[in-house]
Amino acid sequence: MNVRDGLTKPIQNHNSHNKPKGLLASLSERLTKTRASIVGQVQSLVRRHPTFDSEFLDELEAILLQADVGVNTTGQLLSGLSQSLKESGQGKALSGEEVLARLKGEIVTHLGPPEPLAEAAEGPTVIMVVGVNGTGKTTTVGKLCYRFGKLGDQVILGATDTFRAAAIDQLEIWGKRAGARVIRHEEGADPAAVAYDACQAAKARGADYVILDTAGRLHTHVNLMRELEKIKRVVEREIPGAPHEVLLVLDSTSGQNGLSQATTFKEAVEVTGIVLTKLDGTAKGGVVLAIRDSLGIPVKLIGIGEGIEDLRDFNPREFADAIFHDPDRSGCPD
C-alpha cells in the first residue's frame, strides 16, 4: 500500500481527563482484547523499532489490518502518521506515547461525531431490527426495550419473526422484564401482518416506541430480504416517516465478513445504523472504523456484555478513550 505521500489534517490531542474514571475504566475493561490487539502491539513495535521509518509504517499497517480496521482506513491512518514524520524529520525517534496519541486522534477524526438514535417528531418511533441468525438480534431488541422502559417510555414489541416459536417466546420474556406489550401471531403467520398490528396497537395506546424483531436471515436469501421490504412498506403506510430507524445487528467477532452482510441489507431496507454486538469478546474492534468508512453507515449502539444494561450508545471519542486508556498510565495516552 502506498501511503508515504498521504496528507491529512493536523492531529488533535483528544483526551479524557474530564471523563468519570469509573465509566472509562469499565468500558476499557470490556474492550481489553481490542486494546491489546492495537495499543499493546503498537507499544511493542515502538520498543522494538523506535525509529519511525518505512519499515515501522509497514509493521504498523499489519497491526491495524489484523485488528480489522480495513484496508482503506488503514491507509488513511498511516498517511496521517506519515505526514507527521515529514513535518518532524524522517527517521526522528518519537515516544510511544506520542505515536499512540496521534493514532488515537486519527481514529476519532475518522469515526466522526456520535449519531444518536432517531426519534419521531410526533407519534410512535418505529425501529426495525434486522440481521442474520446468531448476531444477538432478539437480545438487542430486549435490551433496547428495557432501556426505553427504564426512561419511562411505553414500548410495543412486534414479534415479526414468525418462523421460530422460540424467538416469539424469547421476546415475550423480554417484554415481561421490561413491562412492554408484545404483539404476536401464531407461528408461520405473515410477518407484515404482525408489524401492522404492532403499529395499530401503538397508535391506539399512545405508545412511544414500536420495536420490530425480524427473523434472522442470510443476506443471500432473496425472498426473505423481500419480506423485509414488505414489512417496511407496511409501517411506512401506517405511521408517517416510519421506520425511523432500521438497525442492522452485526457480530463484531465476524470482522470483515460482516461488511458483505451489511451491504446487502442496506440495499434491501436502507439500513440507518449498525448495532455492533460482542465487542467485549473480540480483538477485531477495529471493524468499527471499517464499517463507517466502507458503508457510510454509523455505528449507533455497541454491545459490550451479556448484562441487560450492556447495550450502549456508541460515542467515537469514548470508544477511543477506552481502547487507549491505561490505568497505570504507562505510556498510553489517556
Residue 30: which CATH number? Answer: 1.20.120.140
Is the confidence at residue 3, as pLDDT, over 60? no
Q: What is the pLDDT of residues 8-41, one digit of tens each?
A: 332 233 333 444 445 566 778 888 888 888 888 9
- In eight-state DSSP terms, residue 14 is -
pLDDT of residue 280: 85
Distance, in Å, from the CA atom of 97 to the CA atom of 331, rounded to the nearest integer, reads 5
Q: Which residues contact 293 (CB under 8 A, 6 or more apart)?
A: 70, 72, 73, 76, 110
Final residue in a domain of this structure, among 92, 114, 136: 114
Distance, in Å, from the CA atom of 63 to the CA atom of 2, rounded to the nearest integer, reads 16
> Same domain, yes or no, for 110 and 130?
no
Q: Which three cell numbers stand for residue 122?
A: 410526533
- Domain extent, residue 130, equals 125-314
Is the confidence at residue 284, as pLDDT, over 50? yes
Q: Residue 162 maps to which CATH number?
A: 3.40.50.300
> Same domain, yes or no, for 138 and 166?
yes
> Same domain, yes or no, for 248 and 102?
no
Is the confidence at residue 56, as pLDDT, over 50? yes
pLDDT of residue 325: 79
pLDDT of residue 100: 84
Q: Is the dihedral of CA 320, 32, 280, 45 positive or negative?
A: positive
The pTM of this model reads 0.84
pLDDT of residue 12: 33
> Same domain, yes or no, for 200 and 146?
yes
> Same domain, yes or no, for 136 and 98?
no
Phi and psi at 149, nearest 5°, equal -60, -35
pLDDT of residue 88: 61
> Same domain, yes or no, for 91 and 224?
no
Q: How many percent of the chain have pLDDT more than 90?
A: 41
Cell 514524520 locates to 85
User: Is 324 a domain residue?
Assistant: no
Cα radius of gyration (the chain)? 22
**Among candidate residues 205, 127, 192, 208, the one with its CA nearest the CA of residue 160:** 192
> Same domain, yes or no, for 168 and 87?
no
Question: Is there a contact between 331 and 96 (Cβ–Cβ < 8 Å)?
Answer: yes
Between 220 and 52, name the one with better pLDDT.
Answer: 52
**Among candidate residues 199, 190, 191, 137, the one with its CA nearest the CA of residue 160:** 191
Q: Which of 3-7, 168-172, 287-291 has the lowest mean pLDDT?
A: 3-7
**Distance from chain centroid for Cα 70:** 15
Between 307 and 158, name the one with better pLDDT.
Answer: 158
> Same domain, yes or no, for 145 and 109?
no
Distance, in Å, from the CA atom of 240 to the CA atom of 266, rounded to the nearest integer, reads 21
User: Is 334 a domain residue?
Assistant: no
Beta carbons within 10 angstroms of residue 89's beta carbon: 8
Distance, in Å, from the CA atom of 145 to the CA atom of 142, rounded to the nearest integer, reads 5
User: Is 14 a domain residue?
Assistant: no
Q: Which residues contact 257 (CB under 8 A, 6 or more apart)?
A: none
User: Is 8 a domain residue?
Assistant: no
Phi and psi at 124, nearest 5°, equal -70, 145
> Same domain, yes or no, for 131 and 108?
no
Q: Which three cell numbers stand for residue 224?
A: 426473505
Phi and psi at 155, nearest 5°, equal -120, 135
User: Is 319 a domain residue?
Assistant: no
Is the confidence at residue 113, as pLDDT, over 80? yes
Number of domains in the chain: 2
pLDDT of residue 5: 35
Residue range 61-66: mean pLDDT, rounded = 92
Distance, in Å, from the CA atom of 20 to the CA atom of 31, rounded to the nearest integer, reads 17
User: Is there a cis peptide before residue 243, judged by omega within 30 degrees of 0?
Assistant: yes
**Coil vs helix vs strand at 300:** strand
Q: Is the dihedral of CA 162, 235, 308, 172 positive or negative?
A: negative
Distance, in Å, from the CA atom of 208 to the CA atom of 87, rounded to the nearest integer, reads 54
Give start and end residues of each alpha helix (H) in the chain: 21-30, 32-35, 41-48, 54-66, 71-88, 96-111, 137-150, 165-178, 191-205, 222-238, 257-269, 287-295, 316-324
DSSP bridge pairs for 333? none
Q: What is the pLDDT of residues 250-283, one digit of tens each?
A: 988 887 777 777 887 888 788 999 999 988 888 7
